[in-house]
Amino acid sequence: MSSVTDQSDQVTLREGLRVLARAIRDEPAIFAVAVAGSAVYGVMTGLAAVVIGRITDDVIVPAFQQGQTTTSALALAALAIIAVSTLKAAGIVVRRYYAGVMQYRLQASYRRQVTRRYLGLPLSWHHQHPTGVLLSNANADVEASWYPIAPFPMAIGVFFMLAFAIVSMVLTDAALAAVGLLVFPAILLINLLYQRRLSPLATRAQALKGELSGIAHESFDGALVVKALGREADETARFGAAARELRDANVAVGRVRGAFDPVLEALPSFGVLAVLLVGSARIAAGTLDPGAVVSVAYLLMVVAFPVRAIGWVLGELPRAAVGWRRVERVLRVSGALPYGDAALPDATDPADVRVREVSFAYVDDRDVLHGLTLDVAPGRTVAVVGPTGSGKSSLAGLLVRLVDPRTGEVLVDGVDVRRLARGEVAESAALVFQQAFVFEDSVRENVALGRLVSDEEVWAALRLAQADRFVRALPDGLDAVIGERGATLSGGQRQRLALARALVRRPRLLIMDDATSAVDPEVERRILAGLRDAELPATVVVVAYRRATIILADDVVYIEHGRIVGRGTHDELMTSVDGYRNLLTAYERDAAERAALWADEDDDLLTGEEVAR
């Protein structure tokens, strides 16, 4: 398990501020609107206190002292209060709405950018990064990066409010202003302290939450194994320990929060009491009106709470900076898979494939293919056979340029596939994977994948892949949605759908990488017979173990440890290559040897049982 407080996750304030700066650069107009709204809100918040103070001095106190007042004075007072609060409300609406607009626009923009990189980067890059990390870069990390944007305009508005408050206090009375000026820095300081204490704890709680979720995911995904081996109690203990750790982390967060919140609330209260003390003395000395005291006290009360917004932003910055770091790492990766501008002939006849001295490695200098050379003449069907891990799938991937060779070249119709323009290879060649990926979409879209093909063509491809029957049985036929939130298909059904996906494109080069491994033998036989009878105008490369598949090929390439050990017809290889013969006859030899041994064992068993009785 990865350690929760990774050293590399420590970030500086500057890094966080840079994230904010980028947000402003990206969305300057919207930010300006949000800040304008926030400024109105800030000033009006301060003004509300001043208005109350003025009303106290000019309307309320005289009324009480003189025992009378005028309707116009009262009306004016009421109007002033309502006007200020309406403006303040308008400021809040603009501030909050545009802060949201900005936050969500940034999220969307960076999600698009990150996924654009995913789609552009070579698969070798994908192979080096765990799926979970890539998904979280595009989702959680993007979200975390722009989280502080929500309170950001308010925090800026608070500065306006503070400026207003300080100026109006100073104008009211210098001594009272001094008291207020002490309270604001104290609030800010406490806030900073608070966020500094809180953010590592909050980050840790967040990480533990992820860890707990990881355990639940893994445990539920492996439920069959957990149950089959009766490990529920151990799994619960594992989950329980993580849950308790998260509990302690949450309590630690709560402790800090629980300490600082009351302090932050008490500070302005003390400020108000101080103002009352100092104010009464000055009123007694005759140098101040009661209204001034009320105004400053009121100002302290209303300004104290919003000041925390600055803390909210600062508190979110570390998390944002970490998220941004991860997002940026993806955006910064150089080396999108380069394409050339060559095109393949717009022909319908089978492709010519040549593999020249190709070495290939997933990880540096651990070659899985060693200087492999292989020609497949147009229209031929070649079977690639070899033990598990011999490099068959790597070869299949190289043919359609899923990956590039470390040395050597792959030529289709005489052109190095690296020189072909984007989409050119896919236009002519189709690879069917063993692990069939299903898009969460209709059956039709899963087969067509955006291509303009008629329903007849889709049905024809499904028929050839022996998938038409089960598709017809789905409630909506071609329109039935499959995938996570749709109908569930079995492994064999997925494979047949993936095969139809390749066939509908009428490829000139068809590569099947153990693509019917989960299909029943009888169905596979029908698929292969159909493919043979269809007389596809295609060069076919098929990776297989099953002999029925292999004997359909014109010739067979036998691979071991990333090298071609033999090539020829099935019969030729059976006589000339030991490894091939051993692999292909494993079952028969087994059956034969077994037949010889079997009778003896059986006798033993019977004897054993008799003894037991």
Partner 1 sequence: MTATDTSSVGHGTDSAVETIRRGLSYSPEIRAGLGLTLVLALVATAGRVVVPIAVQQTVDRGLLNPAGPDLGFVRWMCLAAGIAVLVTAGCAYLMNVRLFRASESGLATLRTIAFRHVHDLSVLTQNTERRGSLVSRVTSDVDTLSQFVQWAGLLFVVSLGQLIVATVIMAVYSWQLTVLVWICFLPLFVLLRFFQRRVSAAYGVVRERVGEMLGAISESVVGAEVVRAYSIEDRTQQRIDAAVDRHRRAATHAQRLVAMSFSTGEVVAGVANATVVVVGVLLGLAGELTLGALLAFLFLVTLFVGPVQVGTEVLNEAQNAVAGWRRVLGVLDTPADVADPGTAGVALPRGPIEVRFEQVSYAYPDGPTVLHRVDAQIPPRSRIAIVGETGSGKTTFAKLLTRLMDPVEGVVLVDGVDLRQIRFASLRDRVVMVPQEGFLFDDTMAANVRYGRPGASDEEVRLALTELGLADWLDGLLMGLDTPVGQRGESLSAGERQLVALARAYLADPDLLVLDEATSAVDPATEVRLARALEGITRGRTAVTIAHRLSTAEAADEVFVFDDGRLVERGRHTELVGAGGVYARLHAAWTTQAR
Q: How far is the CB of 97 from partner 1 (least distance, A)?
A: 4
Would you call 485 helix, strand, or coil by DSSP? coil
CB of 112 to partner 1, least distance (A): 6
Tokens standing for 292?
A: 């001034």
Q: Which is nearer to partner 1, 181 or 426 (CB)?
A: 426
3-state helix, strand, coil in the chain (%, to 5): 65, 10, 25
- 3-class DSSP string for 367-403: EEEEEEEEEECCCCEEEEECCCCCCHHHHHHHHCCCC
Angle among Cα 306, 312, 317 to the nearest 5 degrees reads 150
Closest approach of partner 1 to the CB of residue 14, in Å: 28
Closest CB to partner 1 among residues 13, 263: 263
- Between 78 and 167, CB nearer to partner 1: 78
11/264 with CB nearer partner 1: 264
Closer by beta carbon to partner 1, 11 or else 267:
267
> Which residue is listed with tokens 């980067």?
121
H-assigned helices in 56-173: 61-66, 71-120, 123-127, 131-136, 142-145, 152-172
Q: How far is the CB of 12 from partner 1 (least distance, A)?
A: 27
What is the smallest separation between the CB atom of 421 and partner 1, expressed in angstroms? 10
Q: How far is the CB of 583 from partner 1 (least distance, A)?
A: 5
* Smaller CB separation from partner 1, 11 or 557: 557
Q: Which is nearer to partner 1, 248 or 357 (CB)?
A: 248
DSSP state of 287: S
Q: Which amino acid is at 12?
A: T
CB-based burial label for 311 (10 Å; 0-12, 13-18, 19+) = buried
d(CA 442, CA 447): 9
| Nearest to partner 1 of 380, 547 (CB atom) | 547
526 closest CA partner among 469, 464, 459 = 464
Q: How far is the CB of 324 from partner 1 (least distance, A)?
A: 18
Shortest approach of partner 1 to residue 5 CB, angstroms? 20
Residue 221, H or E segment? helix 174-221
Q: Which residues of 60-80 are buried (b: 16+ CB within 10 A; e: fewer)?
A: beeeeeeeeeeeeeeeebeeb
